[in-house]
């Protein structure tokens, strides 16, 4: 896992994870949380550490279950070209998981956009666009973790309506709320926002350009003009 993350990200994931082991509480609180990946790694580490601190946990029994009774299903694309391998992995992820496990709208939209950027070619330009989109996505997600800023964007009564905060932007753009007024909320399509983007990217001649336009609309909601 560390090897994969360090290859696909410039966020110093290996250094961050290595720093957690044996660190004091003060050091953990001062850890580098300036990106969304490290933020979630930090929360996961704290949750696991607290769970192991429970005296009722039988560590040896848990270790035996993990090492001897746990199986992982791994779907891996095998290509000599790393960029093609990456694109095929995203494509496999979409086909296997879409509609089959409870992924969030944000997860599905992110995979859809990244996949569409390189759908018709894996040029240096398309790979750069894919990388920039991923970095900007992380920057937006990190900014939305500011509770004061989030309170300004989302009414308190609806603060927990979204599994991930970035979904609010997609709901606004796809006009999900307007659709909700026309339908019974319980009959509302759970993946309304994802389906909106999926339809936008169907049967078009230049998916990379369309992704650029769609993502520009997202950035306009939050980022200052450049």
Predicted TM-score of the model (pTM): 0.54
The Cα 102–Cα 23 span in angstroms is 34
Q: Please give the pLDDT value at position 129.
A: 84
Residue stretches of the chain with pLDDT short of 50: 1-11, 157, 182, 185-187
Q: Percentage of the chain surpassing pLDDT 70?
A: 58
pLDDT score of 10: 45
Count of H helices and E strands in the chain?
Answer: 13, 0
CA angle, residues 139, 144, 147, in degrees to nearest 5? 140
The span from the CA of 190 to the CA of 198, in Å, is 14
- Count CB atoms within 10 A of the CB of residue 41: 19
Question: Nearest to residue 170, comparing CAs of 80, 112, 109?
Answer: 109
User: Per the structure block, which two tokens stand in for 30?
Assistant: 């001062």
Q: Are the C-beta atoms of 193 and 187 separated by less than 8 Å?
A: no
Cβ neighbours for 78, distance < 8 A, ≥ 6 positions apart: 85
The per-residue pLDDT for 43 is 81
Report the C-alpha gap between 216 and 14 in whole angstroms: 32
Tally of CB atoms within 10 A around 101: 7
Q: What is the C-alpha separation between 106 and 70, in angstroms, rounded?
A: 29
How far is CA 86 from each of CA 13, 46, 183, rounded to the nearest angstrom? 19, 30, 39
Domain range annotation of the chain? 2-68, 82-222
| Per-residue pLDDT, 6 | 41
What pLDDT sits at residue 146? 84
């Amino acid at each position: 896992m560390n090897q994969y993350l360090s290859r696909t990200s410039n966020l110093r994931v290996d250094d961050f994870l290595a720093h957690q082991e044996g660190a004091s509480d003060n050091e953990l609180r001062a850890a580098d949380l300036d990106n969304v990946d490290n933020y979630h790694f930090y929360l996961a580490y704290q949750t696991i550490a607290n769970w192991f601190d429970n005296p009722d946990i039988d560590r040896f029994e848990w270790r035996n279950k993990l090492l001897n009774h746990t199986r992982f299903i791994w779907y891996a694309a095998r290509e000599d070209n790393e960029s093609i391998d990456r694109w095929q992995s995203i494509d496999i992820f979409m086909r296997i998981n879409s509609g089959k496990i409870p992924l969030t709208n944000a997860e599905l939209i992110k995979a859809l956009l990244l996949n569409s950027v390189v759908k018709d070619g894996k040029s240096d330009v398309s790979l750069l666009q894919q990388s920039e989109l991923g970095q900007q996505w992380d920057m937006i997600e990190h900014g939305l973790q500011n509770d004061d800023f989030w309170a300004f964007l989302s009414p308190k009564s609806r603060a927990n309506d979204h599994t991930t905060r970035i979904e609010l932007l997609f709901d606004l753009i796809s006009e999900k709320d307007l659709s909700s007024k026309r339908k019974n909320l319980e009959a509302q399509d759970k993946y309304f926002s994802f389906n909106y983007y999926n339809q936008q990217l169907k049967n078009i001649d230049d998916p990379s350009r369309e992704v650029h336009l769609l993502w520009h609309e997202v950035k306009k909601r939050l980022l200052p003009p450049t």
